Structure 1
Amino acid sequence: MTQKHENDISFLIRKGAFNIHQALGPGLLESVYEMLLAHELRKFGLEVQTQVALPVVYDGLKLENGFRIDLLVENKVVVELKSVETLLEVHHIQLLTYLKLSGHKLGLLINFNVPLIKSGIFRKVNGLEEQSASSALTSAPSAG
């Protein structure tokens, strides 16, 4: 099986989010979008884990369930889902913290409660080397 680069996985995640948003729109619970996006990504042949425990280690103390990652795709891309009226700065920082604690290099913050899904998708990186110039994306809202 060929290993997919994080950017290729990101493209499929955004495509799945677009498919769901186009069919159902905003206004559903975050947990519903989580189940639907996991389903879409599995249809694309991706390995998807939901509600992945992320331990926190501090001063010799290990908290096994310090955080929960909404979706971990191909054991490479962290996806944090929201269904809120307004994303706050803390939501962006939360994803960066998840990347730092997990050692993963790419994360997507997706807020489904928007009129156009492309305005609700944000890409965050943690030391990711781009696959090529043609696959480089911005950290601003991504195209849906």
Structure 2
Amino acid sequence: MTAGGVRADSFGHRNGAKAQRGGREEQQRHFSFAFLRVTSRPSRSSRQPASPAPCTSSSEADISMDIHPDDLTGACINAALRIHMKFRSGMLEAMYETVLERTLIRDGFSVERQKAISFEFEGDHYENAFRTDLIVNGRLIIEVKARETNSPIYATQLLTYLRLARLPLGLVLNFGMPRLMDGIKRVVNDLPPEQSPQLRVNRLPPVGPTPRC
């Protein structure tokens, strides 16, 4: 063969060897990628079964009912403050009542709205005698107001509701006040002395000898 032919064969041999090396490198890259893709997933034997979504049992719901009265009223007041900071004092009572109900439900409390209360007096039964704005956790009555001024009748009326409903605790929340803290009144009905005795407004006078004047 001529020198040119030898050079052509040598050039073709070099190109063939280079192509073979390129093919092997490409195969190695594909194999490495496939290996990483396979090994990045856990094997079936090592996979953990998916844990079921947590659900609230009746016993867990009962635990939320055991909240201390101070914590319960504090949580309700905190929710009311958040609402008042957002909307101030320009809405109707029904709107504040609706927003407060949904806020407390999101916070994890059980809320009944406009629940009818019945009572008995001297053998007569009075069905659906009145309706409460909100009852929280079956223990706390909330009366929602949107008035520019406070009135002592609000707390008096709430205390009557507590007595007839046989519930221990109540809150008057007057969202119409420029400062909500000025429109908050807590009313307590027959709570044990160890639970906020300084706030008990419906209790009998202490039994003892009458002091001499």
Gaps of 5+ in 1: 140-144
Structure label with greater radius of gyration: 2
Q: Which of 57, 80, 90 in structure 1 is aligned with 2:143? A: 80
Flag the structure with more relative contact order, 1 or 2, with Cα contacts below 8 A and sequence separation at least 6: 1
Q: Which of 115, 127, 135 in structure 1 is aligned with 2:178? A: 115
Question: 1 or 2, which has the higher helix percentage?
Answer: 2
Per the TM alignment, residue 137 of structure 1 is displaced from its structure 2 partner at its CA by 7.2
Partner of 1:105: 168
Matched, 1:56 2:133: no
Distance in structure 2 (CA, Å) of the matches to 1:56 and 1:82? 24
Per the TM alignment, residue 129 of structure 1 is displaced from its structure 2 partner at its CA by 2.9
Partner of 1:142: none
Which shows bigger deviation, 19-28 or 123-132?
A: 123-132
Q: Which of 76, 82, 95 in structure 2 is aligned with 1:32? A: 95
Residue-pair matches, total: 137
Matched, 1:15 2:57: no
Check conservation: 2:119, 2:165, Cα contact below 8 A.
Answer: no
Which shows bigger deviation, 42-51 or 81-90?
A: 81-90
Which shows bigger deviation, 13-22 or 87-96?
A: 87-96
Question: 1 or 2, which has the higher strand percentage?
Answer: 1
Per the TM alignment, residue 23 of structure 1 is displaced from its structure 2 partner at its CA by 0.3
Distance in structure 2 (CA, Å) of the matches to 1:35 and 1:126? 26
* Distance change >3 Å, CA 119–CA 43, structure 1 → 2: same
What is the TM-score of this pair, normalised by structure 1? Answer: 0.87
* Distance change >3 Å, CA 31–CA 106, structure 1 → 2: same
What is the TM-score of this pair, normalised by structure 2? Answer: 0.60
Distance in structure 1 (CA, Å) of the matches to 2:78 and 2:194? 19
- Alpha carbon RMSD of aligned pairs, Å? 1.9
Distance in structure 1 (CA, Å) of the matches to 2:99 and 2:193? 28
